[in-house]
């Protein structure tokens, strides 16, 4: 493990469960339109516990998916997930996104989901990934933007709790608001044909299953998980943080509303 990118949410079983809930809740949104031709070689850079790997492989059964991550624990979870899904077109490897063991121009496509936000130098990561793409190959990136969080009833405490996550990630070298930066990052690193689209998550009381899966088990759980670190770092007091978490759960009630924007970018290499 290097200290150039730290995963602020940790690698315990609760986080693995949260990632699975997130992948299930967001699968139609994130993977819509992402299909790779048979015979393609696709690099999933930063696969984590394999929460997105299964969707990638199922949606492109004729493609070879090479999924890498630097965490041995996450790769073990990913291997179990892939095996349980009965997938045969996935290869899992231990590797750091900043030091990948592949020859130049060895992939047709790259898929990166919820990874750049944790990197101290996402532009350099994009350059290194570009070197692995064959001419005309594509990169697909999905990232969130915590600054887009909106809820009803509104809550200063909830916004303060979310802000501590942004600050904690910044102190670790990352950027929890990186979704809004995808276009300039890809432009800076000389990708072409850049297309970025917002992916809006909107959940109200008419969507109880989505409220449970995303508002409670994904987003509120993510914020709640960093509470001890945020309080210890002096970013927020315990009472305010607890009130913020309660407010996030409150937004999942029948009269509540929760909204959040992800960004999905697709670009080509020359």
pLDDT for residue 109 = 98
d(CA 176, CA 106): 30
Task: Give the H/E segment covering residue 194.
Answer: strand 192-204
pLDDT for residue 28 = 85
Alpha carbon dihedral 252, 257, 218, 95, in 10-degree steps, equals 180
pLDDT for residue 270 = 80
Is residue 89 a contact partner of residue 65, using CB atoms and an 8 Å limit?
yes
Residue 130 lies in a domain: yes
d(CA 41, CA 133): 10
Using DSSP's 3-state secondary structure scheme, residue 138 falls into: strand
pLDDT digits (tens, 9 = 90+) for 38-95: 999 999 999 999 989 999 999 999 999 999 999 999 999 999 999 999 999 999 999 9
On the 0-12 / 13-18 / 19+ scale of CB atoms within 10 A, 43 is buried
Task: Give the H/E segment covering residue 26.
Answer: helix 13-31
Residue 213 lies in a domain: yes
pLDDT for residue 27 = 81
Task: Give yes or no for residue 23 having a pLDDT over 70.
Answer: no
pLDDT for residue 161 = 98
Residue showing tokens 């984590």: 48
Residue 66 lies in a domain: yes
Q: What percentage of the chain has pLDDT greater than the value 90? A: 88
Pairing of strands 64-69, 133-144: unpaired
d(CA 253, CA 265): 32
Residue 175 lies in a domain: yes
Residue 17: count of CB within 10 angstroms of its CB: 14
pLDDT digits (tens, 9 = 90+) for 231-253: 999 999 999 999 999 999 999 99
d(CA 143, CA 60): 21
pLDDT for residue 9 = 47
pLDDT digits (tens, 9 = 90+) for 170-217: 998 999 999 999 999 999 999 999 999 999 999 999 999 999 999 999
Task: Give yes or no for residue 21 having a pLDDT over 70.
Answer: no
Alpha carbon dihedral 150, 115, 25, 28, in 10-degree steps, equals 110
At 255, the pLDDT band (50, 70, 90 cuts) reads very high
Task: Give yes or no for residue 99 having a pLDDT over 80.
Answer: yes
Q: Could you tell me the end-to-end alpha-carbon distance of the chain, in angstroms, rounded to an integer?
A: 32
Tell me the backbone φ, ψ of residue 185, rounded to 5 degrees. Answer: -65, -45
Domain range for 231: 13-268
d(CA 186, CA 127): 9
Number of domains in the chain: 1
Residue 134 lies in a domain: yes
At 22, the pLDDT band (50, 70, 90 cuts) reads low
Cis peptide before 153 (omega within 30 of 0): yes
At 4, the pLDDT band (50, 70, 90 cuts) reads very low
Q: What is the CATH number of the domain that holds 146?
A: 3.40.50.150
Query: Does pTM top 0.85 for this prediction?
Result: yes
Residue 8 lies in a domain: no
Task: Give yes or no for residue 96 having a pLDDT over 60.
Answer: yes
Residue 166 lies in a domain: yes
Is residue 125 a contact partner of residue 119, using CB atoms and an 8 Å limit?
yes
Residue 28: count of CB within 10 angstroms of its CB: 9
d(CA 28, CA 43): 21
At 1, the pLDDT band (50, 70, 90 cuts) reads very low
Residue 2 lies in a domain: no
pLDDT for residue 14 = 58
């Amino acid at each position: 493990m290097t200290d150039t990118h730290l995963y602020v949410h940790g690698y315990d079983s609760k986080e693995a469960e949260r990632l699975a809930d997130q992948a299930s809740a967001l699968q139609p949104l994130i993977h819509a339109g992402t299909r790779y031709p048979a015979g393609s070689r696709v690099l999933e850079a930063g696969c984590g516990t394999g929460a997105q790997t299964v969707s990638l492989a199922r949606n492109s059964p004729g493609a070879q998916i090479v999924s890498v991550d630097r965490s041995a624990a996450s790769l073990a979870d990913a291997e179990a997930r892939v095996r349980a899904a009965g997938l045969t077109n996935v290869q899992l490897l231990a590797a750091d996104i900043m030091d990948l063991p592949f020859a130049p121009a060895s992939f047709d496509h790259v898929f990166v989901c919820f990874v750049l936000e944790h990197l101290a130098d996402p532009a350099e990561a994009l350059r290194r990934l570009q070197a692995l793409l064959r001419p005309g190959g594509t990169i697909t990136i999905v990232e969130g933007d915590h600054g887009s969080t909106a809820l009803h009833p509104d809550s200063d405490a909830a916004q303060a709790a979310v802000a501590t996550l942004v600050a904690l990630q910044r102190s670790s070298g990352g950027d929890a608001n990186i979704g809004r930066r995808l276009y300039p990052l890809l432009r800076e690193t000389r990708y072409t044909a850049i297309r970025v689209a917002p992916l809006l998550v909107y959940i109200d009381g008419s969507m109880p299953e989505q409220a449970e899966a995303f508002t409670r088990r994904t987003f509120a759980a993510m914020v709640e998980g960093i509470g001890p670190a945020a309080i210890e770092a002096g970013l927020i007091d315990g009472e305010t943080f607890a009130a913020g978490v309660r407010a996030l759960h409150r937004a999942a009630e029948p009269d509540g509303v929760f909204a959040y924007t992800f960004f999905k970018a697709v670009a080509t290499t020359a």
